[in-house]
Structure formats: C-alpha cells, structure tokens
Amino acid sequence: MKKLKFSLIIAILGLIAISGCVKDNFNFDLWDREVNYEASFALPAIWGDIAFTDALKKFESSGMLIKNSDGYVSLQYKTRVSSNKVNEILFLSDQNFNGNIFSPEFNFSNFNSFGDTVSFAKTIDMPFSMFNPDAEIDSLTLKTGIMNMMVTSTFKHSAKLYITFPTVTKNGVPFKRTFTFVAGGGSAVSMENDLTGYKIDMTQTATGFNEIPVEMRLTLYWSGTTDNSGSLTTSADISNLTYSIMYGYFGINTLFFESDTIDVNLFKDENFEIERYHFEDPKLLVKYWNSYGVPSQFYFTHMVANSALDNIDYDIIDYGVGLPIGASNPYNVSYSSNPNQVKHDSLVLNKSNSNIAQILNKRPKWIQFKAKATTNPVGYSHNNFVTDKSLIEVEVSMELPLWGYIYNFNMRDTVEADLRDLFRDNNPVKRALLRIDIQNGFPVEAYSQVYFLDQNYLILDSLFHSNNERLLTAASVDNNGRVIDFSRKVTKIEFDTQRLEKLRTCKYVVYEAHANSTQADQNKLSKVYDDYRIKFDIGFEADLGISGNIDSLSNQ
Amino acid sequence: MKKLIIITIFQLSIIAVFAQQNLTLYNMDKVLQSQFVNPSIDVQHKFHLGGLLIPIVGQLPPPIHFNYANNSFYYNHIFHFGEGSKADSLVLDLDLFYSKLKNTTYVRFETDFELLNLGIRLENMFLTVALTEKLRYGFSLPRDLFEFALNGNMPYMLESKPHDFKGFGLHFTHYRQLAVGASMNANDKFSFGGRAKILFGMANFNTDIKRLQLFTDPENYHMTWATDMKIQASLPIYFDYMLHQSDGHLDSVTFGINQQSIDEFTRDGGVSAATKYLLNLRNIGMGFDLGVRYQFSPEIEFYGSVNDFGFITWNTNPQNFVSKGEYKFKGLQVQIPDSTDFLGETAQQLVDTLVNTFGFELIETGYVTWLPTSIYLGGKYKFHDLLHFTALYRGEFFRKSYFQSLTLGVNSNLTNFLSAHLTYTIAHNYAGHLGFGLSARMGFMSWYFVTDSFTNMLFPQKAKNINFRIGCNLVFGYKKIKSTASIRT
C-alpha cells in the first residue's frame, strides 16, 4: 500500500512537471521573436515583340514616320499652310438701290373717275460693288443675305407698287414684293427679306456683269381728286451677303500664306548629338491643293534652313526644276474646272535637283518659309469660280528616308540621385540582378554606361564593368542595306550589398548612350523597313534576406 | 524462433507510414467497437448496447472517436527551445521544419460520434448494428509550396526542376453510416465477419488536383503555370459563379454564396434547417468491411480485414469547378500603346489571358467520393490465457496514396471486468508511439478508453498523431473463452 501511494505521488508529480513543460512550449511570451529568412527569386518583368509597323501606325497620323514609295521607312517633318479664307479676299459688300417714279411719267388721259386706273412700269439697273474694281461677276448663289425695302408715295391717289427682281430667283421664281398705298400717299416697308439660296444672275443688263435689273410697276387708282401730282421713291439695301458659289472674272487678287516653320527635331533636340551621318536620299516636298476655280500663281517669298552647327540661315535652292522662290519664279498652280474638284500638284527637291543634301549636312534644325499666291496672273477670263470653302493649301515636308548611316549618335545627362532608401537597415534585398535579353532586327547597335558620382563629382562606381557596355548588337545587313538576321545580346547587371556600399555617398547619376547603324564606321548604308522587329525580355533575380526581431522589422 | 522470425518480417516491411487509427482497438475483444475495425473478431459478450442516443451510458462519457494525424512534422519542429543563451526561449526554426517535410504533408482529422450501436450473439453468430456520425476533414500541402515560400524559386530554377503543387488539397466530408454486421465461426479454423454499410452524405468539400505546377525557365525566368484541377462541393447551399466577359475581356467575376439557397434552406427557421440537413437522403453511398480469422494453432492465429471499401454519391447542390490550362508568364507585355492608360491595358490583357486559360468552369453534376480503405493483416500469439502478443500491419489507401503502419501489442484480459492493452506503433516515420487501451466493466456497464499514442497526449509538442476513443456500452452475458494455450518456457 505504501509503495502504491508512493508510486501515485511520483506519478502525479511527474504529470505536473510534464504539464508545466508542455505549457511552456506553447507560451509565445517565451518566443524570442527572431526571424531568419533567406530566399532567392527569379521573375520575368517585361517583354515585348515590337514591329516597326506598330510604331508606324502610332506615329503615322502625326506624319513623323511613314512608309515611303520605295517600301522602306522615312522620317518626315512637315507643316501645312493655307491661304487666307476666301471670303477675306473675294467678298460681297452691302449693296443698296434707289428708284423713283414721278407723275409726269404717267399718261393720265381717261383717268378721271372712280374705277379708272393708270399704270407705269420701268426697269432700273442695280449695280453691285465688288471686292476688286476689276472683278466682273456673272452670277452667284447666296449663302446668306437680307434685303430691306422702303417705299414712299406722295400721290393723292391710292396706289399699288409691284417691284420684281427678275434675275434674283429661287427655284426659278423671281423675288418680288407688292406695296399698297392709300389715297394721299404714305410709306410702306418690307424688312428682313431672307435671300438665302437665291441665285443672282448679273448678266441680263446691258453691262453684262455686276448689275441686276429691277422692275417697278406703279398703278394709280382714281381716288376722287384731279390732282395727279406726286412721286414714288423706293430704296432697298441688301446686307450680310455671303455666297456659296460665285462665277465670273475675279481680277488679280493676292492670297497670303502665313509664315511657318518645320522643326527638324532630329537636329533640333539638344539632348543628343550625332557625330556623323548620311541620308542617301533626302527630299523636300512641296504639295499643293487648290480648290479655287481660278488660275493662280504661287511662290515662296523665302525659304531658308537654320543650321544647328553655326546658327546661320541657308537658302534652299533648286537647280532649275521649278521651286518657286521669289515673284519672278512663280509656280502656276493647277486649278479645277468644277466646284467639286480639288486639284493636287507637287514638286520634289532631291539631292540631284537642289542643294537639299548640302542643307542637310548643315544639320538644319528648322526650315522656315513664307508664301504668296496671285489669282488671274495672265489674263482675263470669265471662267473663274469660287466657293465659300475654296482654299489653296501648301504642304512642305522634309523627308529623310531611313537609308544611310548614323555614326555615334550620343546623349549624356546628369541627374540628381537620392539612394538613401537602398541603405535602410532592414533592406531585404541582398543581391539583385537585372537580365536584359534583346534580339535586335534593326541595323542599329547601342552602347550605354551609367556613372554614380559623389557630391564632388568623383566617380564612385559604374553600372557596367566595361567602358561602354553594348546593350544592342546591330543586325546584319546585305548589300542592299536590308537586315538579314536578328542579332542577340544578353546583358546582366548585378548589385550585391558589397557593391551597393560603394554608392552610399552617391549624389549624382550620369548616364550616357551611343548608337551607330550597322558598320557605320565604314560608312555602310542601311535601310529601315517597316517589317523590322525588336524582341526583348527583361527579368530579374533577387536574393532576399531578413534577419532580426520581428517587432523591430515590422515597425520600420 | 518462429515467433522472432514473424515479428522481424513485419518490422522489415515498414516503409512510409501514416494515419494510425484503431490499432490498439483492433484486438480489444471485450469492446464491441473492435468489430468496427476487425469484423471477424470474437466479441466476448452476448449483448452490447451503446451510443449517444442511449440514456446515461451514451453520455457518460459520450462515445467519441477523435484522430489527428500529420505525416511530416510536429510542433517542436517549428518552435522549440533554443540552446545556450536561448535555452529558456522558444526559437522559430524554419530550417528544421523544412527538413522534416515529406513530398506531401497530410494533416487529417477524424471525428466520429456513435449514435447507436448494438451487438447480439446468436449461437454461432454475432450480429451488430451501428449508426455513426462521421466527419473526415483535413488538408494537404506540397513540400514544394514551402520550398517556394522559404527558399524562393531560384534553387529549382537552377536545376530546371518544376515546383509541383499538386499535393495541395482540402477535404471535408460529413456522413452518417448505418452498418449491419455479422461474424461467425465457419469451422474450427476459420472465422469470417463482415459489415454492410449504407452511407448518408451530409456535406462534402473536396479538391482533386491532378496537376498544379510552376516551372521557371533558367534561360529567361519565364514562369509556366499549369493546372488540371477540380474543386467539388455538395452543401445545403450553393455558390454563384459567373465570369462576365465581353469581346474576350473580363468585365467582372461573380462568386459568392447564393442568397436564394440560404433563404430556401433557412426559410422555416434554424431547427428546420438543421433537420433538413441531418435528414438529407439524397447523397447515398455504400460500403463494406470484410474480415477473416484463421486459427493456425491453439496459440497462433492470423487475421486480416478490409475496412471502409465504399463510396458516396453527392447529389445535393453538386458543384464541380474545373480548371485546366497552361500559361507561360513572360512579364508584362510592352506594346506601342494605343492609349495613355498603357499599364492599365497591359494589366487588363494579362487578367483576360489568365481568366481565359485558368478560369474555372462550373459543372453542376453529381460526383462520387471514395472512402479511405484500410487493410489490416496481423497475427496473435497466445502466450497465456492472460497474455497475448499481437502484431498488426495496417495499410490505407488515401487520395491516391498508400500509407502504412506496424503495431506490436501486448494484450491482457486481466480479469473478467478489466482488460488492458499496450501497443507500440511505428508510423509517420517515427518509431515510438505507445498506445494504451483499457476496458473496465462494472456490472453491465463497460467503459473503454483507447489511444494509439498516449505518449503524444502527454507531449503534444512532439505529436504527429493524437487519437483516442472513449465510450461506454451496456454489456450482458460475458462468455469466458478458454484458451488451450499454456505458458511457454
């Protein structure tokens, strides 16, 4: 029995000891809260397979990159200017008309009792004043116009005036108004007559242009008096006149084009330089669009290119192929023969027929021009027409087909850098590696380097170990300059804590990049076609390490 | 010598082991519940009655079986006391934890509530009827998941090896089992037993992952994800799931519990809902247990059994979410942007691609789940009337894997009213589970307590397995079985 009791006590004590020990295992107050974690991850970041056609689609609307007529790609810088609005040059001013009928013009015989009437009709020509004293307008269709008329009668008899503009018609019906007067006279008005859509024929008077006939017929009704004296005065004014189409001869008028500038960003951008380059087939294109039905002559009053090298303006000169520079060398612009037609014409300057190649060697950062056009320069013809939308438009573009070479396109910049975040105590990244894999289908190679500098501009480290790391290897080209195969380059950039430590005092980052076309050092010509592609794949590796007290880690 | 050879053969057959269960119970012939695992066992009372539904005996204590099993690690592999200056502190040891992981870590729970059990001896036959509420639940985690989280994807990438996550899984099954069993002595040598079961499924959630893989290409870090998986559910309520797409773009995803199904289920109140749930007869299954016992000699007998060979068909709101696809992630794609929201469009494209590749397809058809089937093979040596030595091999088929354990036992029917059982089990790649079983009868009430791992209950921080079974049966008509064995010298 004693032994049993003793055994029981030992067992109970043992159980108590065990339970205490077990509880401690689950007492998280005893946890030292230290964590030690190390892991390495490799992840893809970005990738792309970009065809030049994608860039073309994006930039085509702005005209910067185009597929040219030879099937490869051109850089294009252009601008488009228009002449003044047509209604600033060929406009309609307000018109007015006066007409009178006097009593002596009547035959009053047998006009002496009630019911007797007597009438008199006359036609008066109403002249139209025009935008140009030489203009001879045959006809026009009004887009807008308002006519106000006032008639005053002093006749003692009642009267009725019929006034008709027989050559002012709408749907074949002439414009007419009737005015009625009581005995003793008075005034009558007809205001705000809308002439929209009326066609005015100005060829039906003896002059044959710029005039319209106005027919007036006055009927008197005997009103119980023998006093037949009196007069009738008519005045009309037509205002707010605009036309939708006008025919005739418009005389000689000068159309001005605003001065404009083409920025050639390739040479204008100060962020980069090009040591040497060659464009095999540069072009300056001048395109015209003319919706005037008027013979016109166009010329540039000046066209110059400003050099980025010496800041001097250089004239663009053609070798007798008809670049219209100066009033003595105008270009006869084709003109349409019907109102729905727009005539198009163009002129191309290339290295054979102009000094454009020499201009290009001067690195033109902009091309500036001013222009004029003159209507009816060579004579008189009633075949002119113009609509309210007529314009002469000119587009000037500098086209640089990407056929040639570029040697040492380089850029360099310095930026301030704050790398303090990289040196936080609990920065978990112990090593990082960036992997850049590029399969290049363009005939361009590129080099780069990044320097990390301290506040005194002393170099602490560089991104790449070589002087200039080639990031992009140029694709091979055949004798026609066309790329025949991709070239591949894999670049790895690695930083670990040791290397990072060198950058602790970094204040500035200088990056520089160089690019050349394929074998540009040997002046090899390359072409860029729209089916070229570039494929890239960028991923990174990171070694993470976290060690320390979990509370302090989470508080930071 | 013969005994030694037999024991050694069993020991040598040990390989990967798992889910020990009822290993000590298997030979407790005074407890009716041993027939649940050993259908051919000769239970020594003429009449047994027990279960939660039986007043008093069903509540003191309630007949419960609980099992927790983990084939990889235990608590101290994660947190343990340090050394030296840290001897009094708990330290987090991720390296140790990781070193203990198996290819797939299975964490399983089993909970059984016996509602009613009845056993009656008829001449040469012992009949049983048992109604049991069973819950099977747990999860599995692939080692590669921890490998990825703790070490990153680079180590495998450098070996051109994919991370295999197909071991990931979740499962939950609640079903009710009505089993009718019988065991009989066919002749002097052979005894047979069996149980036919009808299974009533209550709820199920299940993942079936054939493929879930991540491969990181060492050449360019491209990550290829591949899936072939199915998530199945049969619950009283169901989920709404819809991918709203237009022109191939994902507009939105609808996923959530269908409110109408909740309203329908709870329409008549909580009690009605519980009743509907518990009396659901739409998910029917069947299974059986078979056992055989061979009396080799008066001292030696061999036995074997197959347990829980069966299945359940799930037809209540069955939902199968199926995903199959493969996608190589190369990073965000850079294109010549058409709009200013370039990043947004790129991200949208990625989402659309992922949804089109991996988006789950919902198939609302019934499905079948299989019970985890066990096989037992063992032998008994009757050293003495009061002392028997046993050896028991258990193999279990679970989710396309096979797990094994070996148990050596000493069993003693000490008196008419007390029997004790001690076992030593090798399981979960760990030798040293001490099991203990005790049945004690007072009058016609017989209590039992059995665990395959009482040492683990004392030291849970070192436990990969904890199980116990307790209960009380009304027993009548004890039949003393005389053994012809004598004490060996």
Contacts of A9 (CB under 8 A, 6+ apart): none
- At A428-487, the pLDDT tens digits run 888 999 999 999 999 989 888 989 999 899 999 988 887 778 888 888 888 888 889 999
Would you tell me how many other CB atoms lie within 10 Å of the CB of residue B467? 28
Residues written for chain B: 489
Q: List residues in chain A touching B: CB distance below 8 A.
A: 15, 18, 22, 24-28, 30-32, 34-48, 50, 54-55, 57-58, 435, 437, 536-541, 544
Overall average pLDDT of the A181-206 stretch:
94
Q: How far apart are CA B133 and CA B130, in angstroms?
A: 10
Q: Are A312 and A266 in contact (CB under 8 A)?
A: no
pLDDT exceeds 90 at position A552 = no
Percent of all residues in chain A with a pLDDT value above 90, rounded to a whole number: 37
What does the alpha-carbon distance between residue B489 and residue B484 come to, in Å, rounded to a whole number?
A: 15
Residues B475 and A482: their CA atoms lie apart, in Å, by 99
Q: What is the ipTM of this complex?
A: 0.78
pLDDT exceeds 60 at position A406:
yes
Query: Touching check for B343 and chain A: CB below 8 Å?
Result: no
The span from the CA of A529 to the CA of B417, in Å, is 99
The DSSP output letter for B360 is: -
In this prediction, residues A482-509 reach a mean pLDDT of 89
Task: Reply yes or no on whether the pLDDT at B166 is more than 60.
Answer: yes
Chosen from A18, A23, A25 to mutate, greatest number of chain B CBs within 10 A: A25
pLDDT of residue B8: 43
- Shortest distance between the Cα of A330 and any Cα of chain B, in A, equals 43
The average pLDDT across B170-181 equals: 94
Asked whether the beta carbons of residue A435 and residue B335 sit closer than 8 angstroms, the reply is: no
Q: How far apart are the first and last CA of chain A?
A: 65
Query: Is A157 within 8 Å of A101 (Cβ atoms)?
Result: no
Whole-structure pTM value: 0.70
Q: Are A282 and A354 in contact (CB under 8 A)?
A: no
Tens digit of each residue's pLDDT (9 = 90 or more) over B248-307: 666 677 778 888 888 888 888 888 888 888 888 889 999 999 999 999 998 999 999 999
Reference A450, options A472, A469, A433, A431; nearest CA is A469
Q: Which two tokens stand for residue A181?
A: 């007067």
- Measure the CA–CA gap between B482 and B489, rounded to whole angstroms: 20
Q: Which two tokens stand for residue A372?
A: 């004029």
Q: Distance (Å, rounded) from C-alpha A380 to C-alpha A378?
A: 7
CA distance B35 to B128: 8
- Give the containing element (helix H, strand E) for A152: strand A136-153
Q: What is the least distance, in Å, from the CA of A18 to any CA of chain B?
A: 7
Tell me whether strands A392-401 and A476-477 are parallel, antiparallel or unpaired: unpaired
B318 CB-side CA count, 13 A: 17
Across A268-292, average pLDDT: 85
Average pLDDT, rounded, for chain B: 85
Q: What would the two tokens of residue A214 be?
A: 């106005």
Name the β-bridge partners of A472: A446
B485 band by pLDDT with thresholds 50, 70 and 90: very low
Instruction: Pick from B77, B78, B90 the residue to mutate for testing the A interface (most A CBs within 10 Å).
Output: B90
**Of the partner residues B82, B152, B221, the one whose CB lies closest to the CB of residue A44:** B221
Q: How many residues does chain A have?
A: 556
Residue with tokens 């665990």: B451
Tokens 């100005």 belong to residue: A202
Reduced to 3 states, what is the DSSP secondary structure of residue B386?
coil
What CA–CA distance (Å, rounded) separates B473 from A296?
120
Residues B230-256, mean pLDDT to the nearest whole number: 80
Q: Which of B182, B205, B436 is nearest to B317 (CA)?
A: B205
Residue with tokens 């000094």: A355
Q: Are the CB atoms for B280 and B318 separated by under 8 Å?
A: no
